[in-house]
Amino acid sequence: MGGALDPAVATGRNLARAALADLGPGSRIVVAVSGGADSLALAAVTAFVAEREAYELSGMVVDHQLQDGSAAVAARAAEQLAGLGIPSEVVAVDVGTAGGPEASARRARYAALERTAAEAILLAHTLDDQAETVLLGLGRGSGPRSIAGMSPVDGVLRRPFLTLRRVDTERICQAYGLQWWTDPHNSDPGYRRSRLRAELMPLLEDVLGGGVAEALARTADQVRSDSLYLDDAAAAVELPLDVPTLTDLHPALRSRVLRRGALEAGADGSALTAAHLAALDRLVTDWHGQVRIELPGGIACVREGDSLSYVRTPVGG
Annotated binding-site residue? 269 = no
Contact in structure between 281 and 308 (CB atoms under 8 Å)? no
Separation between Cα atoms, residue 103 and residue 90, nearest integer Å:
21
Annotated binding-site residue? 128 = no
The number of residues making up the chain comes to 317
| Neighbouring C-beta atoms of residue 259, cutoff 10 Å | 20
Say how many Å lie between the first and final Cα of the chain, rounded.
Answer: 65
Separation between Cα atoms, residue 163 and residue 125, nearest integer Å:
9
> Using CB atoms within 10 A of its CB, is residue 270 exposed (0-12), middle (13-18) or buried (19+)?
exposed
Separation between Cα atoms, residue 249 and residue 192, nearest integer Å:
38
Annotated binding-site residue? 38 = yes
CA torsion, ordered 106, 112, 113, 115, to nearest 10 deg: 140
Separation between Cα atoms, residue 263 and residue 106, nearest integer Å:
21
In the chain, the amino acid numbered 253 is L
Annotated binding-site residue? 39 = yes
Annotated binding-site residue? 37 = yes
Annotated binding-site residue? 317 = no
Residue numbering of the annotated binding site for ATP: 34-39
Residue numbering of the annotated binding site: 34-39
